[in-house]
Amino acid sequence: MSDYDTVAEAYDLDNETSLQNAYYERPATLALAGDVTGRRILDAGCGAGPLFAALRERGAVVSGIDVSAGMVERARVAPRCGRRRAGRGRRRPAAVRAREFDDVVASLVLHYLRDWGPALTGFRRVLRTGGRLTASVNHPTAEYVIERMQGRRPDYFAVYSQAGTWPVGDQTVEVTFWNRPLHAMTDAFAAAGFRISSISEPPPLPEARDLFPGEFAHYADAPNFLFFALQAD
């Protein structure tokens, strides 16, 4: 069972309206994805489906996979969501046909993985030649700067884990991220057969300043997320 199973409803509600997701990461991912009208898209790590829904509203034909059955069930009952594939217990990612999709979107997914190789190889397999991968991850300097400010000296050039606890509603979720330097990210993309089209470090949407006056400065004056647009060779 994924820790997210037990907090799926609360996480979904927070994701819909939070600064980090609704006014920062999701708009930036959608902007980088560009015109998706008529494109077949796999939302890898779809969660409860807000990005799935936004892509579909823009004219894409979307399928989703996620390891959390609770998140997928939340997506199934939400009126905005359509077809869904779960990563466990239903149709597995390996069952997705080769070259089935025009695009894969991996929104805040890869930094949960120690080794990006298998996931990127899987994304490349299901993409047609010339297909697109849009990926967002924790920015490689974000945790590094915080740790330096707290008196620790992490090795920026190492791949290392970072444990944390997230409050979600009246519960908490234990998470582990894997921090890695920028060159390790770009090397992993190249090894899997992807060519970088664009790297983006956008700020949150301007309207978030008035909606989240206490949080906005933290996200506006230094990058917290890093975004990649890639093409399958």
- In the chain, DSSP assigns E strands to 40-44, 61-65, 101-107, 127-138, 160-168, 171-179, 194-200, 225-232
Share of the chain above pLDDT 70, in %: 79
Q: Domain-by-domain residue ranges, the chain? A: 3-139+181-232
Residue 163 pLDDT more than 90?
no
Residue 136 pLDDT more than 70?
yes
Helix (H/G/I), strand (E/B), else coil: 142 = helix
pTM summary value: 0.85
Q: Where residue 104 falls among pLDDT bands split at 50, 70, 90?
A: very high
Strands 127-138 and 101-107: parallel
Q: If you average pLDDT over residues 71-92, what whole number do you get?
A: 43
Residue 195 pLDDT more than 50?
yes
Residue 4 pLDDT more than 70?
no
Is 143 within 8 Å of 177 (Cβ atoms)?
yes
Rounded to the nearest integer, the mean pLDDT of the chain is: 84
DSSP string, 4-16: GGGGHHHHHHHHH
Q: For 107-116, how does the pLDDT look when each residue is reduced to its tens digit (9 = 90+)?
A: 999 999 999 9
For the 3-139+181-232 domain, the top CATH level (class) is alpha beta
Cα–Cα dist 210/65, whole Å: 35
Q: Which residue has the higher pLDDT, 104 or 151?
A: 104
Can you give the pLDDT at residue 28? 97
Alpha-carbon separation of residue 29 from 20, 43, 68, 89, 173 (angstroms): 12, 12, 21, 28, 24
Per-residue tokens: 56: 């579909």
Give the CB-side neighbour count of residue 226, counting CA atoms within 13 A.
18
Among left, alpha and beta (phi > 0; psi -120 to 50; other), residue 45 is: left
Q: Which residue has the higher pLDDT, 205 or 150?
A: 205
